[in-house]
Amino acid sequence: MFEVFLKEVKELLRDRKTLFFVIALPIVIFPILFALLGFLASKTTFEAEQKVHTYYLANAEHSSEFEQMLFYHKSFKPYEGDEQFDSIDALKAAVKAGKIDVGIEIPKPQVKPLTTTPEQVIWHVVFNDAQSINFVYKRLEKLINKYAAGVRSATLEALGAPKSHHSAILKPITITKVDTADKRENYGEKLGALIPYMLIPLVLMGASYPAIDLGAGEKERGTLETLLLTPVTRTQLVLGKFLTILASSIACALVTVSSMAIWISIAGGIGILDTIKDAFSSVRFADFMLIFALLLPVAVMLSSLVLAISIYARSFKEAQNYMGPLSMLVFVPIVVSVMPNMSLNTTTAWIPITNVSLAIKEIIKGTVDYSAVVMIFVASALLAGALLMFCIRWFSKESVLFR
């Protein structure tokens, strides 16, 4: 078995494509892609924040004070054309034509004098809300609220309420949030769910490429028959191939996690990604080892599955076609783990992959229940053992090997 394992590892290390996917991709390509995405996101957000929006204020004469506030705001400039847009339909057409970025319609009748009975009015803000990054509405809402606060205060004074009582009248009850979650739990809840999205598919990816080569690849090259003639039992043969795939799967996950830790450390050292650095600063080495230990039975399960699929496939291409749906099957349990009200308990601890995904999130949060972790190990080990046994029996069938 170990001779088969060593032989397969040597062949794997000679395969440049496998080395690229297992080592170069997580060390170099992924960090570059993530850095590029972060840079583009920061750049587009900065540009959106700095953008000056052209506005048109319909019926501006009804609120000259707000008109002045808008005119002197650094993020807005008035429309300089000669056309008039005095209705909502006209403002919509102007926004669609690109003549203005936003239109505000102050309806008639205007805000009544402060000595009369107060009356609520509705202002319409017309803009294109389909853009993914759009600060125009929030800026206008903030400005209108500031203007409305001044109108409200003046109205209350006109109605005889002293200015010192305004806060109690307008907001008789103030809520103060007292959060029982510490910093680690807060960050872990937000970022911990993302870690399984990265680790578990990488475990699958690290197993898939060598599995295709060691199963379907052997068939396609015609070397499988030679292997079967060697004085090695089929169980030893399949276990040797399985250990090779398992080693590649674990190596891919380890290389990726190590690469991430190094890049986050470098980024944190130069003052960026402080949020991520804070989130992981309280995660101990023992927690990382526990995450790695939870991934081991997952790696055994996925390695057994991909080897069984690869042995069944007639060719390299057929094996690749079968691996595609398997990727989707792995993502579904991970998605289930991030659904509302999903938590690690005695029931979810028995759901494959979902249990590991939930446990990783709880470990990052620092709230993991170790009795549930034991149940996960038992459930995962039982399933991994069953799948490995199936793979061995599958490899023993002539109808599968020579279909």
pLDDT in the model for residue 223:
80
- Tens of pLDDT, residue by residue over 335-346, are 888 887 788 888
Q: Which residues contact 143 (CB under 8 A, 6 or more apart)?
A: 66, 69, 70, 73
pLDDT at 55: 92
pLDDT mean over 286-293: 83
Residue 188 pLDDT more than 80?
Answer: no
7-16, 85-94, 217-226: which has the highest mean pLDDT? 85-94
Distance CA 182, CA 189 (A): 11
Q: Phi first, then psi: what are they for 147, rounded to 5°? A: -65, -40
Assign 57 to helix, strand or coil.
strand
Instruction: Give the pLDDT score at 320.
Output: 80
How far is Cα 187 from Cα 318, in angstroms, rounded to an integer?
A: 43
pLDDT higher than 70, residue 270: no
- Work out the pLDDT band at 93, boundaries 50, 70, 90: very high
| pLDDT greater at residue 253 or residue 133 | 253
391 contacts: CB under 8 Å, gap ≥ 6? 238, 242, 304, 305, 307, 308, 311
Residue type at 234 in one-letter notation: R
Rounded average pLDDT over 93-108: 88
What is the pLDDT averaged over residues 319-343? 82
Q: State the Cα angle at 301 between 295 and 306, rounded to 5°.
A: 120
Considering only residues 223 and 13, tell me which one the structure prediction assigns the higher pLDDT.
223
DSSP 169-216: HH-S--------S-HHHHHHHHHTTHHHHHHHHHHHHHHHHHHHIIII
Q: What is the pLDDT of residue 295?
A: 86
- Average pLDDT (269-275) is 56
Question: What kind and span of H or E run contains 317?
Answer: helix 316-337
Residue 13: closest CA among 247, 178, 231: 247
pLDDT of residue 21: 66
Does the pLDDT at position 32 exceed 70? yes
Phi and psi at 21, nearest 5°, equal -70, -35
Quote the strand ranges of 224-376, DSSP E.
none
What is the enclosing helix (H) or strand (E) of 78?
strand 76-78
Q: What backbone phi and psi angles, to 5 degrees, belong to 97?
A: -80, -10
> Token pair 């190094």 is at which residue?
262
- Domains of the chain with bracketed CATH: 1-31+183-402 (no CATH), 52-170 (3.40.190)
Mean pLDDT of 272-281: 60
User: What is the reported pLDDT for 290?
Assistant: 86
pLDDT tens digit sequence for 43-82: 777 777 788 889 999 988 888 888 888 899 888 999 988 8
Rounded to an integer, what distance in angstroms lies between the CA atom of residue 149 and that of residue 165? 14
The tally of CA atoms less than 13 A away on the side-chain side of residue 256 is 27
Q: pLDDT tens for residues 128-162?
A: 887 655 678 888 889 999 998 888 888 888 888 88
Do the Cβ atoms of 264 and 273 come closer than 8 Å?
yes
Mean pLDDT of the 326-338 span: 83
Residue 235's SS3 state is helix
Q: What is the pLDDT of residue 157?
A: 87
Q: How confident is residue 194, by pLDDT bands cut at 50, 70 and 90?
A: confident
Which has more confidence, 22 or 312? 312
Q: What does the mean pLDDT of the chain come to? A: 80
What was the pLDDT predicted at 78?
92
What confidence score (pLDDT) does residue 247 get? 87
pLDDT over 90 for what percent of the chain?
A: 5
The answer on pLDDT for 347 being more than 60 is: yes
As a residue count, the chain comes to: 403
**How are strands ordered across the β-sheet holding 76-78?**
76-78, 53-58, 102-105, 124-127
Name which residue leads in pLDDT, 277 or 172.
172
Token reading at 326: 């398997």
**pLDDT at residue 56, as a whole number:** 93
Q: The tokens of 263 are what? A: 């890049």
Type and span of the H or E element at 54:
strand 53-58
